[in-house]
Amino acid sequence: MLPRFCLVTDTTSPPDTIYQTVEEALLGGVRMVQYREKHRPRNERFSIAKKLRETTHRLAALFIVNDDIDLAGAVMADGVHLGQEDLPLSVARLVLGPHAIVGISTHNIEEAKRAESEGATYIGFGPVFRSPTKVSDSAPVGIEAISRVACRIGIPLYAIGGLQYVHLTRLIESGAYGVATVTGVSGDIRQNVRQWIQTLGHP
């Protein structure tokens, strides 16, 4: 059973802040972390991902790498999260193995159903709201779109994009299996994570 809460790292943070945030979130109960990085050199990304893999392993959490299948394999991550313009899901399975977690970012019902048919473990659906941490060509879909998609697929749907705690109850009622957030737990990370997980009903 996949955790319902996924912490996504902030690409604007320096490595020490990333490590501290992830550790605090894990101590608060997070059981899935996604490392997202677009701009750092590959050797630096490897060093950060390797340390995060060690931390998540020590604290019994899943570790997912965003976009980079090779990096996920290099640090022995539990899986990878792919966008619509990344390498196909079949390549991720070839590199990481048949049991790896493979998530796919989707923005509409067609993409969601295709991801499921190709064997995705879960989908990220959104952006639900405009995100302060990611520039996207996709317009926010709104919470109502989750209801239309969640009932038509048989794999977990994680709501993504600009999420805050005040949205959580409506997201769950709309059929979201879980949430993935970067900034939603900022501040007192450990306490805020506990609040999100308590409302979700499962880590």
* pLDDT for the residue numbered 114: 97
Q: What pLDDT score does 138 carry?
A: 73
Per-residue model confidence as pLDDT tens digits over 149-177: 999 999 999 999 999 999 999 999 999 99
Q: Is residue 137 over pLDDT 70?
A: no
Provide the pLDDT for residue 132: 67
pLDDT surpassing 80 at residue 202: no
Cβ neighbours of 166 (radius 10 Å): 8
The listed CATH number (3.40.50.2000, 3.20.20.70, 3.40.50.2300, 2.40.160.40) that belongs to domain 5-200? 3.20.20.70
CA distance 170 to 144: 9
Q: Residue 180's closest CA among 34, 73, 38, 56?
A: 34
Note if 134 is an active site residue: yes
- H, E, C per residue of the chain: CCCCEEEECCCCCCHHHHHHHHHHHHHHCCCEEEECCCCCCHHHHHHHHHHHHHHHHHCCCEEEEECCHHHHHHCCCCEEEECCCCCCHHHHHHHHCCCCEEEEEECCHHHHHHHHHCCCCEEEECCCCCCCCCCCCCCCCCHHHHHHHHCCCCCCEEEECCCCHHHHHHHHHCCCCEEEECCCCCCCHHHHHHHHHHHHCCC
Spell out the domain ranges in the chain.
5-200
pLDDT of 134 above 80: no
Can 105 be counted among the known catalytic residues?
Answer: yes
At residue 21, the pLDDT reads 96
Mean pLDDT, all residues of the chain: 94
pLDDT digits (tens, 9 = 90+) for 62-106: 999 999 999 999 999 999 999 999 999 999 999 999 999 999 999
Tell me: the pLDDT tens digits for 25-58?
A: 999 999 999 999 988 999 999 999 999 999 999 9
Based on the residue annotation, tell me whether 36 is a catalytic residue of this protein. Answer: yes
Total-model pTM: 0.94
Catalytic residue among 105, 131, 174, 194: 105
List 93, 113, 114, 134, catalytic entry:
134
- Single out the catalytic residue among 36, 45, 53, 194: 36
